[in-house]
Amino acid sequence: MELDEVLRRRRMTRRFGPTPVTAETVERVLGSLAHLPSAGFAQGVDVVVCATAASRRRFWEAASEPAWRARPDAGGLLAAPLVVVPVADPAAYVTRYGEADKAASGLAGEPASAWPVPYWLVDAAFAVHALLLAATAEGLGALFFRLHAPADAVLDALGVPPGRTCVGAVALGHPSPTDRPSGSPTRRERRALHEVVHRDHW
């Protein structure tokens, strides 16, 4: 699939079907993470892949409330055979930008809380986008969603070392035949390109 087609086809999937995803497909999707942009080449983003029933259950129990999981409309998302959690390490970026070759960046010696743009979250967002596009290229559905519980509690349940953070999670799998475009894109028109692109000046 060509890149322009992947970009056109990509959309959020909210209902997943029971068809398993082959191990080869999973590895190709995860392989998209091998060449991500990385600020300062800090490479401070990891992912936790919840692919077994036990690890997915552990994730959902930490990331959502029982009342939500019991809702009929939650079943389509809970059916996703894979949940990938991008995890960012702010300390890796603080350490990297404290090294001699980054002295001119203006970030050397600055604590994470003082960074005007948290590069670790930018890099985590790159990881999310790579997963969404790679899933589309493989004919899979994908959904990026925020955690509905404190991130620290979710990451602790997944065994992530302290000090890390995340921007959310990505559910992956084959779309259910009942999945249809939904959410905000069905209620709001996409902005035309000429409204988005400002050439030479706003």
Domain ranges of the chain: 3-34+45-138+148-176
What does DSSP say about strands 141-145 and 45-50: parallel, antiparallel, or unpaired?
A: unpaired
Helix/strand/coil (H, E, C) string of 9-27? HCCECCCECCCCCCHHHHH
178 vs 99, more confident:
99
| Residue type (1 letter), 166 | C
Alpha helices by DSSP H, listed for the chain, are 3-9, 23-31, 53-63, 66-69, 75-78, 90-96, 119-137, 151-157, 193-196
Q: If pLDDT is split at 50, 70 and 90, which confidence band does 115 have?
A: very high
What are the tens digits of pLDDT across the range 126-183?
Answer: 999 999 999 999 999 999 999 989 999 999 999 999 999 999 999 999 999 888 777 7
Tokens of 78: 């809970």
pLDDT, position 178: 87
Q: Mind listing the pLDDT tens digit for each residue in 28-53? A: 999 999 999 999 999 999 999 999 99
123 CB neighbour count, 10 Å cutoff: 24
Task: Identify the pLDDT of residue 95.
Answer: 97
Residue 44 burial (C-beta neighbours within 10 Å; 0-12, 13-18, 19+): buried
Query: pLDDT tens digits, residue range 1-14?
Result: 788 899 889 999 99
The pLDDT, as a whole number, for residue 183 is 72
Helices (H), 71-178: 75-78, 90-96, 119-137, 151-157
Question: What are 146's two structure tokens?
Answer: 């925020």
Q: Is the pLDDT of residue 184 over 80?
A: no
Task: Give the model's pLDDT for residue 188.
Answer: 86
- Percent of the chain surpassing pLDDT 90: 87
Mean per-residue pLDDT of the chain: 94
- Residue 185 is encoded by which pair of tokens? 């894109």
Task: Report the pLDDT value the prediction gives residue 107, as an integer from 0 to 100.
Answer: 96
pLDDT for the residue 187: 79
* Predicted TM-score (pTM) of this structure: 0.91
The percentage of the chain sitting over the pLDDT mark of 70, rounded to a whole number, equals: 100
Confidence of residue 20 (pLDDT cuts 50, 70, 90): very high
The CATH number of domain 3-34+45-138+148-176 is 2.160.20.10: no
Query: If you average pLDDT over residues 59-78, what whole number do you get?
Result: 94
